[in-house]
Amino acid sequence: MSDDMYVCPACGATYSLSSMAFRCRCGGLLDLAPFEPRFDPRSAGGERSIFRYVAAMPPFAGAERAWESARRRVTMGEGLTPTVPFDPADPELLVKVDYAMPTLSFKDRGAAVLVAAALAAGARMLIQDSSGNAGAAVAAYAARAGLGCDIYAPASTSPRKVAQIEAYGARAVLVPGSREDTAAAALDAAERGARDGSAFYASHVYNPLFYQGTKTYVYELYESLGGLPDTLYVPLGNGTLLLGAYYALKDLRSLGLIGSYPRLVAVQAERCAPVYRAYAAGRNAAEPVRNEGTEAEGIAIAAPLRGGQALTAVRELGGEVVTAPEAGLKPAKEAAAARGFYIETTSAACLAAYLERKARGVDDGRAALPLCGSGLKSA
Ligand SMILES: Cc1ncc(COP(=O)(O)O)c(C=O)c1O
Ligand SMILES: [Zn+2]
């Protein structure tokens, strides 16, 4: 199989990374064809950005020059975020300050790679849909790349996130109704754009290149700690960080850099937990649920398209899916602020889950969790 293709796991069809493909003709979601990651933590580039791990990303064979110049153009030095003890007096819990990013959330990891790939593929216009942070990230990198950008978002999106998207020069298309209505409107626009070659669907859900960016989260942990902690907490809405972590852990294992996997704990919101429900019931497919209303808006994905894939990934690594108690979100956010970290409520979910498990006597050993969105983001 070629080194750099999108592949449809359902029917085996392949598509070039230089195409505008975002979904298989059969309707299946695309993954990347397997390729050899190259990563040496002792010589991980001199680059001060996530692209220090570019050797672990697809080689873009046949389009290496376009990829190289595109990524050099779009990078804003994202990544290399601090990993520090949550509490200075307690070395057992580490937090990675992933809101210390150009657009104030971890989504910059995925957006930098995806927008660079779109630019290298010759896109002139990007379409994306998001409840906020991914939209802001794609809008910022589109501005940097000189690409037009339409971001579809629910009409209920926090005004601060809409203002940020528009500040980058993107058009915010506010769609009445649910998050799913927004996704349908964006998909429709993306299909029209793909047909006439005018638009690239820069979706963090459809396009698997996004996970080639988010996987740098785990590489950085590995590099800065000289190994991995016993337990890794990650949020799970659509699963962009979870799937990135999965690919990175597989890479590190296949490179012989880790002998076993850390315990991966994927965290959903108690009131919107389709993947948790499937996990707890031993099912393989994450059936859509009704969002019962949660303050953790960023992970409140009632019908995650890659929910089954996320579940398989967690099971393969021997990890688990848990829920963050709704009543624990606000206290966790306050506990973070009391230690100097101003995070958005969604970001408090992993901490709330960690604290709740600890109170029950679960021993995570040394654990790490991401602080993935800034408190300045939400109202
Ligand atoms: C702050 C924050 N944390 C976590 C997530 C969850 O990411 P995902 O939906 O990719 O699982 C999001 C998604 O928007 C987010 O904005
Ligand atoms: Zn297919």
Is 4:58 a contact under the CB 8 Å cutoff? yes
pLDDT tens across 184-193, in order? 999 999 998 8
Is 369:354 a contact under the CB 8 Å cutoff? yes
Nearest C-alpha to atom 12 of ligand 1 is from which residue?
A: 298
Counting ligands in written order, the one closest to the CA of 377 is 1
Residues 6+ apart with CB under 8 A from 204: 107, 110, 111, 114, 128, 130, 134, 138, 210, 238, 240
pLDDT tens across 8-21, in order? 999 999 999 988 89
Cβ-based neighbour number of residue 218 at 10 Å: 26
Q: How far is the CA of 196 from the centre of ligand 2 (A)?
A: 21
Could you identify the atom of ligand 1 that is nearest to the CA of residue 240? Answer: 10
Residues, CB-to-ion distance under 5 Å, ligand 2: 8, 10-11, 13, 24, 26, 28
Task: Look up residue 351 and give its two tokens.
Answer: 């901490």
Nearest C-alpha to atom 1 of ligand 1 is from which residue?
A: 373
* Nearest residue to 213 via CA among 69, 61, 316, 105: 105
Q: How far is the CA of 377 from the centre of ligand 2 (A)?
A: 38
Say which amino acid occupies 299.
I
Average pLDDT over residues 266-271: 98
Cβ-based neighbour number of residue 281 at 10 Å: 8
Res. 276: pLDDT tops 60: yes
> Could you tell which of 211, 306, 371, 372 is best to mutate to test the pocket of ligand 1, judged by most ligand atoms within 8 Å of the CB?
372
> Could you tell which of 97, 103, 105 is best to mutate to test the pocket of ligand 1, judged by most ligand atoms within 8 Å of the CB?
105
Q: How far is the CA of 349 from the centre of ligand 2 (A)?
A: 35
Rounded to whole angstroms, the Cα distance separating 313 from 318 reads 9
User: CATH for 83-103+209-370?
Assistant: 3.40.50.1100
Three-class SS of residue 126?
Answer: strand
> Could you tell which of 98, 236, 299, 369 is best to mutate to test the pocket of ligand 1, judged by most ligand atoms within 8 Å of the CB?
299
Per-residue model confidence (pLDDT) at position 3: 57
Is 113:57 a contact under the CB 8 Å cutoff? yes
Per-residue model confidence (pLDDT) at position 132: 81
Could you identify the atom of ligand 1 that is nearest to the CA of residue 299? Answer: 6
Task: Look up residue 120 and give its two tokens.
Answer: 């290298």
Pairing status of strand 83-87 against strand 320-324: unpaired
Q: Average pLDDT, whole number, for the chain?
A: 94
pLDDT tens across 90-103, in order? 999 999 999 999 99
Pairing status of strand 90-96 against strand 200-201: unpaired
Three-class SS of residue 183?
Answer: helix
Q: How far is the CA of 48 from the centre of ligand 1 (A)?
A: 24
Rounded to whole angstroms, the Cα distance separating 374 from 376 reads 5
Say which amino acid occupies 181.
D
Could you identify the atom of ligand 1 that is nearest to the CA of residue 131? Answer: 14
Cβ-based neighbour number of residue 366 at 10 Å: 14
Per-residue model confidence (pLDDT) at position 197: 79
> What pairs with residue 36 in β-bridges?
none
pLDDT tens across 133-161, in order? 999 999 999 999 999 999 999 998 888 88
Residues 6+ apart with CB under 8 A from 33: 1, 2, 3, 4, 5, 6, 7, 14
Q: Name which of 122-126, 270-274, 375-379 the model is least confident about.
A: 375-379
Rounded to whole angstroms, the Cα distance separating 178 from 153 reads 10
Q: What is the dihedral of CA 313, 314, 318, 324, to 10 degrees?
A: 170
Between 126 and 42, whose confidence is greater?
A: 126
Rounded to whole angstroms, the Cα distance separating 188 from 180 reads 12
Q: pLDDT band for position 2 (50/70/90)?
A: very low
> What pairs with residue 272 in β-bridges?
269
Measured from CB, residues less than 6 Å from any atom of ligand 1 are 105, 133-134, 235-242, 298-299, 301, 344, 346-347, 372-373
Rounded to whole angstroms, the Cα distance separating 164 from 138 reads 11
Res. 349: pLDDT tops 70: yes
> Could you tell which of 232, 264, 346 is best to mutate to test the pocket of ligand 1, judged by most ligand atoms within 8 Å of the CB?
346
Could you identify the atom of ligand 1 that is nearest to the CA of residue 344? Answer: 1
Is 314:279 a contact under the CB 8 Å cutoff? yes
Task: Look up residue 244 and give its two tokens.
Answer: 């990135």
pLDDT tens across 35-77, in order? 988 887 666 668 999 999 999 999 898 899 999 999 999 999 9
Per-residue model confidence (pLDDT) at position 379: 61
Per-residue model confidence (pLDDT) at position 377: 82
Res. 85: pLDDT tops 70: yes
Per-residue model confidence (pLDDT) at position 44: 65
Rounded to whole angstroms, the Cα distance separating 360 from 203 reads 38
Nearest C-alpha to atom 7 of ligand 1 is from which residue?
A: 237
Counting ligands in written order, the one closest to the CA of 237 is 1
Per-residue model confidence (pLDDT) at position 156: 86
Is 242:372 a contact under the CB 8 Å cutoff? no
Q: How far is the CA of 236 from the centre of ligand 1 (A)?
A: 7
Could you identify the atom of ligand 1 that is nearest to the CA of residue 130? Answer: 14
Task: Look up residue 72 and give its two tokens.
Answer: 């050099």
> Could you tell which of 133, 211, 345 is best to mutate to test the pocket of ligand 1, judged by most ligand atoms within 8 Å of the CB?
133
Per-residue model confidence (pLDDT) at position 180: 84
Nearest C-alpha to atom 14 of ligand 1 is from which residue?
A: 298
Per-residue model confidence (pLDDT) at position 9: 96
pLDDT tens across 235-263, in order? 999 999 999 999 999 999 999 999 999 99
pLDDT tens across 282-296, in order? 999 999 999 999 999
Q: How far is the CA of 297 from the centre of ligand 1 (A)?
A: 9
Share of the chain above pLDDT 70, in %: 98
Task: Look up residue 90 and give its two tokens.
Answer: 């307690």
